[in-house]
Amino acid sequence: MQRVDARVFSGTGNSLRAARWFAGDDGDVRMLEDPAAATLRADALLLIASPTHGFTAPWEVVRFVSALPRGGGRRAAVLCTRAGIPLGRWHPPGLAGTAPFLIALALAVRGYRVRGARSVNMPSNWMSLHPGLSPRAVKAVLEHSEPQVQRFSAVVRAGGRRWLTLNLAWELIGGLALAPVSLLYLLIASRLLGLYFFSTKACSSCGQCALACPVGAITMQGQPARPEWSTACTSCMRCMAFCPQRAIEASWSWGLVTTLLSLVPFAAVPWLGAASPLAWVGASVASLVLSVVGLPPLTRAWWAWLGAPRVNRFFALTTPTRWYRRFREPSARLRVLAPRMRKRG
């Protein structure tokens, strides 16, 4: 069996756990943000493991792969984790969509021979949308998925290929059907989702979220220092999952306000002629520009306003994330997920 060099992007630990299943005991598994992650052994199979965001791969992963040393025909494989939410004994598949194909393509462009790709359900971690799964459901998803990853690993590490599978057929069909959603996600939503996070008065200013952020999107601002998220945030959920005070929430009401604001250009459509396609296209473009250019500065002002205790309390009380169970992969340790924290000792 070929040894594995796994390079992993993981917000809450799912993709790290799946990469470990794949790599076995003798594998070298590193996070992308580890400075040594780009160093690869010549004889090892390279595994790229990643979560799915918006039915595709997060930018960071594609960027990392595109910056890897040239593969020179070295073997590689792709493992994408996706949302698993069990319904009784049934495990409906999440949708990784174009994620495995996009990463495989980026690897092929760098000169790697990609032997196969697979997506696998892991407990859904999108806690700004829904509560984390119960420990029982988490266990059920992990038990369901581990053998799938091990079978995939056994085939690829023994020199086989894994392309003509039902798993990839599902992802291809779903990914193509939802490609416009993924494109909008990559271009717009992935830049904006982080702007809905905020800290409540429970924040102790410890700065762990800023240190642990895999893309350096969080800075501590103000007096007392509170986290602020930049548009570099990938909404990986690590800050929300690991905050020791449980002080990070995602504001649904702020999300609603900004969504309504970004729709303002459509108010002009009746005057421009509701039957004219040009009016709709113009309003859509203006709305997109307004979202990307107008919302980030507005959000900074919002955070400053949130410093006022009553305002903060109002928004903390009016977001359902306040009641959501936090999820992190049960074996995940922050010091492993965030090599920067290890260095700090």
Ligand X SMILES: Cc1cc2nc3c(=O)[nH]c(=O)nc-3n(C[C@H](O)[C@H](O)[C@H](O)COP(=O)(O)O)c2cc1C
Residues of the shown chain interacting with ligand X in the complex, contacts defined by CB under 6 A? 10-15, 51-55, 81-83, 94-96, 122, 124-126, 235-237, 329
- Residue 58 C-beta: closest distance to ligand X, Å: 9
Within 178-276, where are the H helices?
179-184, 190-192, 208-212, 238-242, 252-262, 269-272
Q: Pick the closer one to ligand X by CB: 56 or 312.
A: 56
- Residue 53 C-beta: closest distance to ligand X, Å: 4
- Residue 17 C-beta: closest distance to ligand X, Å: 8
Please state, in angstroms and rounded to a whole number, the distance separating the CA atoms of residues 76 and 85.
29
Residue nearest to ligand X (CB): 94
Q: Pick the closer one to ligand X by CB: 98 or 299.
A: 98
Neighbours of 137 (CB within 10 A): 16
Please state, in angstroms and rounded to a whole number, the distance separating the CA atoms of residues 47 and 183.
25
Residues near 297 by Cβ (< 8 Å), separated by ≥ 6?
none
Q: What angle do CA 213, 216, 220 make, to 5 degrees?
A: 85
Q: Pick the closer one to ligand X by CB: 194 or 227.
A: 194
- Residue 68 C-beta: closest distance to ligand X, Å: 20
SS3 of residue 46 by DSSP: strand
Please state, in angstroms and rounded to a whole number, the distance separating the CA atoms of residues 99 and 54.
9
Q: At how many degrees (to 10) do helices 309-317 and 295-306 cross? A: 110
- Residue 284 C-beta: closest distance to ligand X, Å: 23
Q: Pick the closer one to ligand X by CB: 57 or 279.
A: 57
- Residue 11 C-beta: closest distance to ligand X, Å: 3
